[in-house]
Structure 1
Amino acid sequence: MLVAGIFYASGDTLVPSDKPGRNETLLWRQPTGQGGVQVEVLNALDETWTPSFEEYIQKWDGGYSNGTNSIDPLSLSVQRVAVDPECEPIMGKLKTCNGNYGETDWRGINIALTDENNYIQNSISKYNDYWINLADTQNTDVQRKYTMCHELGHGWGLPHTDEEYFNEPTGECMDYTEFPQDNLNCGEYNFNLLHRLYGNTERRSLRPGLSLARAQSTGILNEYRAAVEQASRDVSCADCRLDLSNGYRIFVHKLLP
């Protein structure tokens, strides 16, 4: 079975499908009759990442305006929790974490668990200090901001806008790039995509979240943890999907170092 723009996991093997690009968008389930997408975000980052987190939470929550048209599809709430490099997932929430995960093939990674209807049940975004701590020109505060903006975007369910590293930058942080300083905006395209899916929120301020995720069985959670471990270390998986029992899946997006 092939899935556009990602990898399909057959047994324990990740098999590439077609060329990467603007692959499928994942959805958070929303209350009936309410506009926009509501996501509760858990900040389990240490102090080195929290400033970038706070900056881009505000930017993603603030919506987009070009002077004549304003769209505001995201309604975010934030909870500060204990620093958690393991990034144990919490149902119905996006959790953000950092740690020194070693010489992985990713600078940042987002992993989402979806149900049989492809609704996100939980999502984690992890940031690898190993690469950020390297003293070279590719690992700067700009790179930290770009990585934060990028992985939060995956947390809302967004795909990449472009996966060619050396073409002209789009200006949006969901664009793969060798020039992060030119791709620090959340981006009109991404806000428009979220708006088409969810409409506008009722207000712009950060507000309490409402979880519509379902409680998961121990079996599914054990499968999830094993799949996360596999995807995190498998270098063939830049964008991949692994199928679990009962229609559950995990979707993985990696930002390469």
Structure 2
Amino acid sequence: MTRKLTQQIVLAAFAAVLVFAPVTSLAPSATLALQGSGGFHWARQQTPFTLQVGDNVDGGWNSILSAVVADWNRGDTVSFQIVGGATTPQECRSKPGTVQMCNGQYGQPVGWLGLTRLYFDRSGHIDAATVQMNDSFFNANNGQYNSDAARRHTMCHELGHTPGLDHVNTESCMNDSTAAIFNNLEPINKDFQQLARIYQHSDSTNTIAGSPKKKKKKKKGKGKGSKNTKKTTRGASTPTRTQNGAASTENFFDPAVMPGALSALDGSETVSVERLDDGTQVVTFITWAEK
């Protein structure tokens, strides 16, 4: 199955959802700050700042993660710090204030090579992110993506989305063209300059783990238990492994969790918007594999 056909299947599933889903499932344009108005961004009171990256990867991905983080840390706006993972690779659930990095056999039928999800709080700021690397393509025998170059580009690209970067037509790893996957392995100065523009302002609060939150007045009758409710992990639906070890795509096309908006499919990546049952809005970047 070609990438284009796979994308058409996703479009068909999406169209079916629109028939049965209310229009209110779409994310309001005023809720999320889109790239044209300065970029998606995390709330923080000062710059530079550090994002924690939960390490849920195994095998050769650990050395690639270290190299990619070192590449992004050449900038002076956002730095990444690798910490212990907070989820299972197959579920890859988000943890507030962090980026959770995962790899797994998510299956080739799903059609995607890499997947990044940005979770937004009620004020429209990113407050969690997840990144998934699909080993069903990267570890395929004689597969075109079974190379360190493809792995490094894809991880660099997906991690670059987490602080708010969009696609570019440069020699950066943020270039989403098919050729870039095997050639553009690192961020470039223009990426760091864009991050500086996105975070040139300051916010009144923080959505980053380890940063002080905006102080709120204590309310009577509110115990400590309520403060811990946001500490739990959460996640939009992702492909899951069946009992025989194969990857299932059932949840990926579940009408309850299909994206609420879909970008044009003229590139190697699709950007979608969905709303979870708890009201959380999620922007998903899907990097397609060519088959």
| 1:253/1:216 CA distance change after superposition, 3 Å | farther
**CA deviation vs aligned residue, 1:169-193 (integer Å, no higher than 9, x gap):** x211111122223211212222111
Matched positions, count: 220
Select 1:119's aligned residue among 117, 125, 130. Answer: 125
CA contact (8 A) 2:43 2:126 kept: yes
The equivalent residue for 1:241 is 273
CA contact (8 A) 2:85 2:100 kept: no
Partners of 1:240 and 1:45 lie apart in 2 by 25
| 1:221/1:50 CA distance change after superposition, 3 Å | closer
3-state SS in 1 of match to 2:128: strand
Unaligned runs of 5+ in 1: 1-6, 16-21, 64-71, 163-169, 201-207
The equivalent residue for 2:40 is 26
Give the C-alpha shift of residue 234 in structure 1. 5.9
Structure having the higher Rg: 2
**CA deviation vs aligned residue, 1:195-241 (integer Å, no higher than 9, x gap):** 012249xxxxxxx94375996679x987x535995479969772100
The equivalent residue for 2:103 is 98
| 1:221/1:142 CA distance change after superposition, 3 Å | closer
Select 1:59's aligned residue among 65, 68, 71. Answer: 71
Give the C-alpha shift of residue 111 in structure 1. 0.7
| 1:23/1:138 CA distance change after superposition, 3 Å | farther
**CA deviation vs aligned residue, 1:30-66 (integer Å, no higher than 9, x gap):** 1x2x222421111110122111100010110121xxx
User: What TM-score does the superposition give when structure 2 sets the normalisation length?
Assistant: 0.64
The equivalent residue for 1:196 is 197
3-state SS in 1 of match to 2:149: helix
3-state SS in 1 of match to 2:69: helix
Select 2:283's aligned residue among 239, 251, 255. Answer: 251
User: In angstroms, what is the RMSD of aligned CA positions?
Assistant: 3.7
Partners of 2:177 and 2:138 lie apart in 1 by 16
1:64-143 pair list within 5 angstroms? 72-81=76-85, 84-85=88-89, 86-103=91-108, 104-134=110-140, 135-143=142-150
| 1:245/1:88 CA distance change after superposition, 3 Å | closer
Partners of 1:82 and 1:116 lie apart in 2 by 23
The equivalent residue for 1:225 is 236
Partners of 1:249 and 1:83 lie apart in 2 by 20
Give the C-alpha shift of residue 118 in structure 1. 1.6
| 1:192/1:105 CA distance change after superposition, 3 Å | same
Partners of 1:181 and 1:227 lie apart in 2 by 26
One-letter identity of the residue aligned with 1:136? G
| 1:45/1:83 CA distance change after superposition, 3 Å | farther
Unaligned runs of 5+ in 2: 1-13, 27-34, 202-208, 215-226, 240-250, 264-269
Q: Percent identity?
A: 24
3-state SS in 1 of match to 2:95: coil
The equivalent residue for 1:145 is 152
Partners of 1:198 and 1:97 lie apart in 2 by 26
| 1:221/1:56 CA distance change after superposition, 3 Å | closer
User: What TM-score does the superposition give when structure 1 sets the normalisation length?
Assistant: 0.71
CA contact (8 A) 1:123 1:155 kept: yes
Partners of 1:46 and 1:112 lie apart in 2 by 23
